[in-house]
Amino acid sequence: MCSFFIHADLDAFYASVEQLDHPEYRGKPVIVGGLPGDRRSVVSTASYEARKFGIHSAMPLVRAVKLCPQGIFLRGNMKRYREKSELIMSIFDEFSPDVQQLSIDEAFIDITGMKSLLGPPETIARKIKERIRTETGLTVSIGLASNKYIAKIASGMSKPDGLYIIPAGGEESFMRSLPVGKIWGAGSKTQELFQKHGLKTGDDIHRLSLEILTSIFGKSFGLFLYRAVRGEGAAAFDEERGTHSMSAERTFPYDLFDNFAIETALFDICQTLMWRLLNSSWQSSTISLKIRYGDFTTEGARETSATPVSTLNDLYDRLLNLFHKKYQPGRGLRLIGAGLMNLEAAGALQGDLFDSGSTAEKERRLEQAILEINKKFPDAVLRRGRSWI
């Protein structure tokens, strides 16, 4: 039986939600990502009206302001976007038991074998678009193909509010006719390589042997390209993927030089990370540190210990130690970040460190109590003062 996958992708999601909630924004250039004057922000989403001015995602905000000073600039409201996202995903769920959410605004929907229940694939795609429109007021672009990779590329080419169907058997010719700029997984560095080797379309890549592709692009990515231009799906979209990590980072409006200010920022990031860890079912013994200097050079360091991170102070101590090993004093700090790598299912914490009544156990309980309060009153974020250390 032939498989059918839909890739559904909301159009200019954050900006569209804002235009929905604020009718006065409709038909106008809306830029979500920051307010004019915010230093070091980037555009998260630009409405289609804003894109006419040349504004796009990831563009520095100051540039967007120059291109379109009359635009409506917003910092964004993630809570509202998540709310809308949940509604959208629940609609997708009604069309298939197999929905794979990729991000806040896109998902694969496996509609293989749904024909007898819901009609042919194209009918299902149109029904999804209609239901999203009537029940959320938003538009979604859909790609429909026999594998996820092709469906993903097709949805991007149908934007906005489109439907692009690649018929079964047409995968390879579709990929061969594709400009290399549309190949998912090939970013700016790879595009430079394409240009250097005179590769303009999927067909140009198709002509090269696997050996040549791997010699240019490396073993893994060369094989990926070899398969992609033959219309095959990509392992990147397989459900079960390996390691997990969580991280938090912050870019400062102005570079930090002062030790106390830097350590305070690091502590703050540790709190964010620890709340998330306690709110998850993970534990981790590997911490990572990220620093970016004023000149944008970025360095990382990580450290694996014998025991998993137990408390906020434990996390902070480990990171501060790593920070002082890595940081070159005197250099302005643009960004600091922290992460927990190789997350594993949290087992019962053990060892005498965690005997009830021990300092560490008391710490853990206090932190969990604060987390509970924050969950109940999310608008009044409670944080431990740094003086408590």
In the complex, which residues of this chain contact DNA (CB under 7 A)?
39-42, 44, 57-58, 60, 62-63, 66, 102-106, 152, 156, 184-191, 218-221, 236, 241-251, 272, 276, 286, 288, 296, 298-304, 334-335, 337, 339
- The residue among 24 and 239 lying less far from DNA, judged by its C-beta, is 239
Give buried/exposed letters for 183-217 (b at 16+ CB in 10 A, else e): beebeeebeeebeeeebebbeebbebeeeebbebb
For residues 372, 373, 377, 380, the Cα torsion angle rounded to the nearest 10 degrees is -130
* Catalytic status, residue 24: no
- The residue among 57 and 139 lying less far from DNA, judged by its C-beta, is 57
- The residue among 119 and 185 lying less far from DNA, judged by its C-beta, is 185
The two structure tokens encoding residue 219:
């073993």
CA distances from 149 to 171, 219, 237, 251 (A): 10, 20, 7, 34
* Nearest C-alpha neighbor of 103 from the set 117, 115, 85: 85
- The residue among 187 and 329 lying less far from DNA, judged by its C-beta, is 187
* C-beta separation of 31 from 64 below 8 A: yes
Find the catalytic residue in 106, 171, 263, 367. Answer: 106
The two structure tokens encoding residue 134:
């009537």
Calpha distance 381→379 (Å, rounded): 6
* C-beta separation of 248 from 272 below 8 A: yes
- The residue among 114 and 213 lying less far from DNA, judged by its C-beta, is 213
Nearest distance from C-beta of residue 242 to DNA, angstroms: 4
Nearest distance from C-beta of residue 337 to DNA, angstroms: 6
Collapsing DSSP to helix, strand or coil, 37 comes out as coil
* Nearest C-alpha neighbor of 261 from the set 383, 367, 384, 386: 386
**Which residues are designated catalytic?**
106
